[in-house]
Amino acid sequence: MLATWPPTPYRNFDSWTYTKYQCLAAYDTCRIVSVAWQVLGPTPGLQPLDQGYLLVRRDGWDIDPEATAINGITNAMSDQAGAGAGGGR
């Protein structure tokens, strides 16, 4: 069974809102908290063959409340359902 997306509404962000990629120091404290993927079959159909979604387990860092307001992922969710760096739970 595939995991479902977090129960938060889809949000569309304007790329101009964020620090430009040239200012990489602004992202030193950023962490990936979830990963989603979809494998598509060959063209022209591009039918989904596989898909998935994982939360990342925290490892000595906290998810900022501002990030939680955007993505809906809390420290508790990450601790309880997050996958570790080795891919296991």
- Proportion of the chain above pLDDT 70, given as a percent: 71
Indicate the domain borders of the chain.
34-89
- Proportion of the chain above pLDDT 90, given as a percent: 44
Arithmetic mean of pLDDT, 53-79: 92
d(CA 52, CA 18): 27
pLDDT at 2: 44
List pLDDT tens digits, range 38-51: 999 998 889 999 99
List pLDDT tens digits, range 3-24: 444 444 445 555 555 556 677 7
